[in-house]
Amino acid sequence: MRARIEDVAREAGVSPKTVSRVLNNEPNVRNEMRERILAAVEMLGYRPNPSARSLASNRAFLVALLYDNPSPHYVMEVQQGALEACDAHQYSMMVRPLVSGAPDFVERVDVLISQFRPDGLLLTPPICDHPALLDMLRTRNVPWASISPKNYTEGVGATLDERSASCEMVLHLASLGHRRIAHITGHPTHGGNVWRLRGYRDGLEQAHLAYDPELVVEGRFSFDSGVAGARRLFALEHRPTAIFGANDDTAAGILWAAAERGLKVPKDLSVCGFDDIPLARQVWPALTTVRQPSQDMGRIAAMQLLRTIKSGKPGQMVSVPYTLRLRQSTGAAPRRVRP
């Protein structure tokens, strides 16, 4: 049978409670004692029983990651990073896919909380911007951390300056000579969408290009919405020479639609995306995009959440850096626009 705390206590010649103190990093244990106990733990290969721990302490040592996201790669990256942070702090993590548009969405999370009693939640877009959910969490006093929330000036979590990144991207296109730069937006309820769109407008302004509403098409952060959006833009009388997709999936759709129409990228059309998922390198030509360190963001948000849980004081909203990845899908604007 596996070692219990009592065995460690006997081995170290102390009471179980003292062992418990050491394991939980509680103060008021002499150093000598602490070391003796840690040695005994090591020797017996002791691991606390999480169920007993959580039953007795009424803490679950559990963080739940909630997602509702069309991009498995993104979720996977965030999950990986969050898992790293949880492991490092001896917390376990559960994952839960959800449909944030479902009528019983908030209730489902409520059930989840009463069932598993997680110490905190990790929210990805668009869940992190769901007002009713956040209200419920506040009421139930459950801490949470957000990844890329719409409002990045408060709360706990990790963000990226999507507005500046988008602005830079548009300036890059402008510097290549593009004058008609279109944008296929993300899902209107995603926080990211708001900032990427705003950054697009910033970029136009800074490049002294007029904003033309005709050139902004609503998408859904998906491949299909990229295809559909690009088809609409191609049908314009005066079509754009560059299209900025709100994410890489969208941009891949644009590329696909361009190929369908026989347009050469980047000769006839420049295309760029956002996120730098593997797909960005796997399409032809490889996508110019903004690298977003999703895994780091997952790790950082989880760390801030754990800090909040442990200290009771809210952690920070950490901004992580982005990088422009210039690849083959963007190039000089064509002299003359082919239909």
Cβ proximity to DNA, 13 vs 97, nearer residue: 13
H or E element that contains 146? strand 144-147
How far is the C-alpha of 307 from the C-alpha of 131, rounded, in Å?
A: 24
- Interface pick for a copy of itself out of 43, 102, 259, 332 (rule CB under 8 A): 259
CA 197 to chain centre: 18
Query: Residues in contact with DNA, total (CB under 7 A)?
Result: 31
How far is the C-alpha of 116 from the C-alpha of 14, rounded, in Å?
A: 33
274 in Cβ contact with 289 (< 8 Å): yes
Query: What does 249 interact with, of DNA, a copy of itself, none (CB < 5 to 8 A by kind)?
Result: a copy of itself
- Write out the binding residues for DNA, residues 1-40 only, by CB under 7 A: 1-2, 4-6, 13-21, 23-24, 27-30, 33
Is 56 an interacting residue with respect to DNA (CB under 7 A)?
yes
Residue 293's identity, in one-letter code, is P
- Write out the binding residues for a copy of itself, residues 75-114 only, by CB under 8 A: 75-77, 79-80, 83, 92-97, 111, 114
**φ, ψ (nearest 5 deg) of residue 308:** -60, -45
Is 113 an interacting residue with respect to DNA (CB under 7 A)?
no
Neighbouring residues of 70: CB distance < 8 A, sequence distance ≥ 6: 220, 221, 222, 249
Indicate the burial class of 226 (C-beta count within 10 angstroms; 0-12, 13-18, 19 or more).
buried
Closest approach of DNA to the CB of residue 57, in Å:
4
Bridge-based pairing state of the strands 289-291 and 323-325 = antiparallel
- Interface pick for a copy of itself out of 6, 13, 17, 49 (rule CB under 8 A): 49
| Residues at the contact surface with DNA, assessed by CB under 7 A | 1-2, 4-6, 13-21, 23-24, 27-30, 33, 46, 48-49, 52-53, 55-59
* Residue ranges that bind a copy of itself, judged by CB under 8 A: 2, 45, 47, 49-55, 60, 72-73, 75-77, 79-80, 83, 92-97, 111, 114-117, 223, 249, 252-253, 255-256, 259-260, 278-279, 281-285
